[in-house]
Amino acid sequence: MEKEYKFNVEEKDINKRLDVYLSEKIENLTRSRIQNLIDENNVFINDNFEKNSYKVKLNDKVFIKIPEMKEMSAEPQNIELNIVYEDEDLIIVNKPQGMVTHPAEGTKDGTLVNAILYHCKDLSGIGGVLRPGIVHRLDKDTSGLLMIAKNDHTHQELSKQIQSKEAKRFYKAIAIGNFKEDIGIIDKPIGRNSKDRKKMAIAKDGREAITHWNVLERFGNYTFVELELKTGRTHQIRVHLSSIAHGIIGDKEYGPNIKFPVNLKGQLLHAYKLILRHPRSNDLLELIAPEPDYFIKALEYLRTHR
């Protein structure tokens, strides 16, 4: 059933971000889930909608509505998974390019969630009925490592590690142009594109977004780079690299409008490494997924045609 919470902001909580304030008040909701509820207009401040970044004030009246969970519409499907790690608490898969992470309008089946539901009968329910166990996501045409929680404790702990930046996520990409420096940081807020709500953009009133990059190899007009996410905004790496004129090759939404010599079905972006602390044992896990074949072919071509 639908749940509602009401709070009056006390002096000790003044100037906290709205999403942080609510995540401290409601223990069984992750901060990312609260951010989604705020974005979907389920949170009111003094009868007004505010953004996640809103700083609460003394005596603000905060109302949050948590909609009733709908019946599960994602069906288990026998789809092959490349499982890199699995135990009683979590699964880490190497998602292929072209696979959608979870069902959405227009994509009801064939997703990672459909495959996970077939493989595993018990998953964390925190992500909602269409995102069971999904701690974070990857774009359809981004390949690589993705964490799935089998229980709520694991989901909460992994979400906390992502929020605190304890969990580290590394990517590899091939971008247009020759980076001037060997290492760098892109620190630009990201929000919805005002002209196209399906896309993201650099926005002054957007949410904080930080990406570290490191050049691995140079090919004249192209650069092979490693990237580390310090935050996890939608399309973050793609938007950030595009904003510095180094869009990712094969990215039809944000990348350069050029003809690349190797046939591609999507962007050359791969989530190749995850470092996290196991939520039960506290052991440090470091997992690596090698670049897929099409990525390797692109690198081989560039290395022989410098």
Residue 240: name the closest of 148, 290, 173 by CA: 173
For residues 49 and 46, give the distance between their C-alpha atoms in angstroms, rounded to a whole number: 8
| Distance in angstroms (rounded) separating the CA atoms of residues 41 and 292 | 39
Q: Which of 139, 187, 196, 205 is catalytic?
A: 139
- Exposure of 120 in the CB half-sphere (CA atoms within 13 A): 24
DSSP secondary structure string for all residues of 213-266:
EEEEEE-SSEEEEEEEESS--TTHHHHHHHHTT-PBTT-TTTS-----SS--SS
Residue (of 46, 49, 60, 51) closest to 10 by Cα position: 60
Residues 50, 18: contact at Cβ < 8 Å? yes
Whose CA is closest to 223, among 200, 243, 241, 201?
A: 241
Residue indicated by tokens 């100037």? 15
Rounded to whole angstroms, the Cα distance separating 292 from 171 reads 13
Clarify whether 109 is annotated catalytic. Answer: no
Catalytic residues, by residue number, are 139
